Amino acid sequence: MMLHIPNVLTAQQVQECRQLLAQASWQDGNATSGFQSAMTKNNLQLAQDSTTAINIGALIVQALHNNPLFVAAALPDTIFPPLFNCYQVGQGFGIHVDNAIRIDRQTGQKVRTDLSATLFFSEPDEYDGGELVVEDSYGAHSVKLPAGDMILYPSSSLHQVMPITRGQRVCSFFWLQSLIREDAQRSLLFDLDTSIQEVNQALGVGHATSVQLTGVYHNLLRRWAR
């Protein structure tokens, strides 16, 4: 399942983050690349242990925990500390798949990458190119979102960032381990959760149908959670 999550950060938060990112020191993006990625990756990145990365990352994680759409879709267990990249003219990231396991360099914690996320800080009209292209069984999907919005997609997907031809693209990217490993099961739970919310709106919270569907949801979650 691929999902656009709007307004993860407010306009004010985006502006404050952009100011900090504009003043940050960027390094070669291959500092965090695996073997495959290093052959196709050309961008800039913030050091994971930089004050800017840590502070903005904490803001993002807090915003995500307070975002009902994200929680319903991702059912997060562990969120890898957000990283930050910058693509300038001529830079891009060729087709690749994310590593199955990421290790937090600060804590040593290993995170299984069930889902990948990209949160945009640059507005779409500030750069040309730079689309995130994600491939699945239905084809290739091109993504270029407003600042503050995020795309969430399975980490098993082949994806790439198209070369920048004007301006620059600044984003946060990270992975998370979900309570539900299988994407198909997460999708079913998300659809069921959405249906329960619609029933609550139509019939009222506490209606027998809502109670029954909620029971089904939690029994499936109990069965599938790892």
81-129 per-position pLDDT tens digit: 999 999 999 999 999 999 999 999 889 999 999 999 999 999 999 999 9
pLDDT of residue 138: 86
- Give the number of other CB atoms < 10 A from CB of residue 158: 13
Q: What is the CA radius of gyration of the chain?
A: 18
**Collapsed DSSP state (helix, strand, coil) of residue 214:** helix
**Rounded (10°) CA dihedral 32, 38, 40, 41:** 30
pTM (2 d.p.) = 0.93
**Collapsed DSSP state (helix, strand, coil) of residue 191:** helix
Q: Do 111 and 177 touch, CB atoms closer than 8 A?
A: yes
Domains of the chain from N-terminus onward: 3-178 (2.60.120.620), 183-224 (4.10.860)
Q: What distance in Å separates the CA atoms of residue 225 and residue 202, rounded to the nearest whole number?
A: 29
**What is the Cα 174 distance to its own chain's centre?**
6
Q: List the pLDDT tens digit at each of the 226 positions of the chain.
A: 999 999 999 999 999 999 999 999 999 887 665 556 667 899 999 999 999 999 999 999 999 999 999 999 999 999 999 999 999 999 999 999 999 999 998 899 999 999 999 999 999 999 999 999 999 888 999 999 999 999 999 999 999 999 999 999 999 999 999 999 999 999 999 999 999 999 999 999 999 999 999 999 999 999 999 8
Q: What distance in Å separates the CA atoms of residue 147 and residue 73, rounded to the nearest whole number?
A: 21
Q: What is residue 31's DSSP assignment?
A: G
Residue 212 backbone dihedrals phi, psi, to 5 degrees: -65, -45
pLDDT of residue 35: 57
pLDDT of residue 31: 64
